[in-house]
Each structure stands twice: as C-alpha cells, then as structure tokens.
Amino acid sequence: LFVPQGLSPDADTKNDFWVIKGLPTGVDNTVTVYNRWGNKVYQKKNYDNTWGGLPNVSGTKKKEKLPQGTYYYIIEFSSSEFKPLNGFVILQY
C-alpha cells in the first residue's frame, strides 16, 4: 500500500489526484480527510483515487478548492485483518 504525502491539483496532469496504490480489492474502505482544525472536509466509501482537493461534506463549499496546506487522513477497512491507517497529505497548487 502506497499513500502519497502530497497532491497538486493544478491541471498539469501530474499529481492532480490523490492516488493511493494498492488498496485491497474486495474489502470495503472509507477514506476521511480532515483539515488542521480537525474538521472533516472529505469522505469517500470505497475510495476510487479521485480526490483532487475539493471538499465533499456538509458545511463546506463543495465547488471551491480547499486552501493549500497540510491535511490529515484516516483510511479504515471493513475487514479486521487490515488495521486503520492515518497520516498527512499536503495540498499545493
């Protein structure tokens, strides 16, 4: 499993999306991203490598890019054989 520590969704076709390589197939997962204040800004069940810096949860302006900065993630799996993962990702334009 490789979780990149950054993405730069600036439409140059390089690192425009947060691509997590090696997510287990056949096991449900949930990816949640938080800002530095601990507010949830993105959540996706069965993550499909399509997060490009836009929020998707209530209480956010869903069509506006998130500000540059460090965000924190948790990846949870439905199977107990996989432990949750957490870390940070840097968003830069």
Beta-carbon contacts of residue 35 (< 8 Å; ≥ 6 apart):
41, 66, 69, 71, 72
- Please tell me the pTM assigned to this model: 0.93
pLDDT in tens, the chain (93 residues): 999 999 999 989 999 999 999 999 889 999 999 999 999 999 999 999 999 999 999 887 778 899 999 999 999 999 999 999 999 999 999
Residue whose pair of structure tokens reads 């799996």 in the numeric block: 77
Question: At residue 74, what is the residue type?
Answer: I
